[in-house]
Amino acid sequence: MNTQPNININASSGTNNRYSNSSINADLNNLTSPNFNDYIQRRTSIFSGNNSNSSSQSLSNQDLVLQDKVKRASNNFSLFLQNLLNQNSLNFYKINDFCQKKCPKLIAERDNLISINTNLNSTLEELGEVEDSLSYLNQYDLLNQIDCRIQESINLLTKLQKR
């Protein structure tokens, strides 16, 4: 036996249509309202036949069984939606808590790495300019020292980028 409700919403225009486009939009807007529980209860009463606008005709046993099934399916669906909302809220608070604890540290670390990277880049540019000047003077000893400093800077930059 299939216990999942079969929901069919016909949004075509017409005066006899119970679900007009504006009704559907209002229902969708209610999903985000703070009174979500009230909304679920109101929709449950409409689907279960407890709506004040429903007719007061006597129902056959088959109608009563069907109404009971619809009411149970509606209640199950209401519980499902409420549990989903609660789980989403819990997940939001977990993520929010994580971000409040970890993000300031990560942002500070990122800013620190950006600053170090900027300083290293400017140092590399300066060393490159000095190297160009020294190459004209044929001072190979100084060039080797500069090459070592450039290589050290590159190694340090590589280590910082891997972090």
Q: What tens digit of pLDDT does each residue of 45-61 get?
A: 555 555 444 444 566 77
* Domain, as residue range, for 126: 101-163
Q: Does residue 14 form part of some domain? A: no
Residue 96 placed within a domain? no
**What is the radius of gyration, based on Cα positions, of the chain?**
35
For 99-153, the pLDDT digits (tens) are: 778 788 888 888 888 888 888 888 878 887 877 776 666 556 667 777 888 888 8
Q: CA 95, CA 72: separation in Å to the nearest integer?
A: 34
pLDDT of 14 over the 50 cut: no
Note whether residue 39 is domain-resident. no
Asked whether residue 162 is domain-assigned, the answer is yes
- Cα 44 from Cα 67, distance rounded (Å): 11
Residue 26 lies in a domain: no
- Reading phi first (left if > 0) and then psi (alpha if -120 to 50, else beta), residue 129 is in alpha
Structural domain total, the chain: 1
Query: Given this model, what pLDDT does residue 9 score?
Result: 41
For residue 116, being part of any structural domain is answered with yes
Q: Is residue 115 part of a domain?
A: yes
Better-scored residue on pLDDT, 141 or 16: 141
User: Quick check: is 38 in a domain?
Assistant: no
What pTM, to 2 d.p., does this model score?
Answer: 0.30
For residue 161, how far is the Cα from the chain centroid? 28
